[in-house]
């Protein structure tokens, strides 16, 4: 699997039956096509749609039916439309169970930077700052390193912050981390990824769960065994 597919397939496991879920602009929107049909949930877009369906097939696009990233989408049966003010009232009122957002940088404290790079033209911060404080759970998905092979998981973010200590879980192409009051914890490595590689490519300091799981969820107490360091 390519990097994005690996991240998306792992991230979709965070979605549970009955949830109201917001998918952020960029890679998170790809989850809409991967959600199992047996799950009954509603996808919310801050531009005013509750009940996003899969991307439309070619030739069936409706230019007036778009997500927050201006991509054409479909609506499920029972979907509803409303203005942006009502959408943000929904977010700020705590009615979103899960927000899956993209990231540029995440710090070891759970800080998130995902809305701008200094010197680059941006239209605005979008809904991310509201989502990281209004949604009940925040999961960030992103590549582990940038195009220069530098870690995007920092001791401290260098880019403008979207929110401080707001990330609950981070999923990359290499690993899964949780953020707790005790700090950042490595809870899972992606299939075929060694523990040494995760350590080498992560600038942030983290502890390793004694119940670290690998790939498809096979539990291996790597630290306690002191043996194999890969899945």
Q: What is the CATH number of domain 3-173?
A: 3.40.1080.10
Alpha helices for the chain (secondary structure H)? 3-11, 84-92, 128-134, 195-200, 222-225
Domain boundaries, the chain: 3-173, 174-231
Q: Identify which of 184, 216, 177, 171 has the alpha carbon closest to the alpha carbon of residue 24.
A: 171
pTM: 0.91
| Averaged pLDDT, 80-99 | 95
* Model pLDDT, residue 123: 72
Would you give the DSSP letter of residue 212? E
Residues 231/188, Cβ–Cβ less than 8 Å: no
CA distance 215 to 188: 7
- Is 34 part of the annotated catalytic residue set? no
Tell me the per-residue pLDDT of 136-147, one tens digit each, with 9 for 90 and over.
Answer: 999 999 999 999
Name the active-site residue from 46, 105, 108, 188: 46
Tell me the per-residue pLDDT of 45-60, one tens digit each, with 9 for 90 and over.
Answer: 988 999 999 899 999 9
- DSSP, collapsed to helix, strand or coil, labels residue 148 as coil
């Amino acid at each position: 699997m390519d990097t994005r597919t690996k991240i998306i397939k792992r991230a979709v496991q965070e979605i549970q039956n009955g949830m109201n879920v917001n998918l952020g602009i960029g890679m998170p929107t790809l989850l809409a096509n991967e959600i199992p049909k047996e799950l009954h949930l509603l996808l919310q877009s801050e531009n005013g749609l509750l009940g996003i369906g899969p991307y439309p097939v070619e030739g069936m696009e409706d230019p007036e039916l778009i997500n927050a990233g201006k991509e054409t989408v479909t609506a499920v049966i029972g979907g509803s439309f409303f203005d942006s003010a009502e959408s943000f009232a929904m977010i700020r009122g705590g009615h979103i169970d899960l927000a899956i957002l993209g990231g540029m940088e995440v710090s070891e404290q759970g800080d998130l930077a995902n809305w701008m790079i200094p010197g680059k033209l941006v239209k605005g911060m979008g809904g991310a700052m509201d989502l990281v404080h209004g949604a009940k759970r925040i999961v960030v998905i992103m590549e582990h390193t940038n195009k220069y092979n530098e870690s995007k998981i920092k001791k401290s973010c260098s880019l403008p912050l979207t929110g401080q200590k707001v990330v609950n879980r981070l999923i990359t192409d290499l690993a899964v981390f949780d953020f707790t009051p005790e700090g950042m914890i490595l809870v899972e490595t992606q299939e075929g990824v060694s523990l040494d590689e995760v350590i080498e490519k992560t600038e942030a300091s983290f502890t390793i769960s004694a119940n670290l799981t690998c790939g498809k969820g096979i539990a291996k107490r790597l630290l306690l065994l002191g043996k194999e360091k890969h899945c």
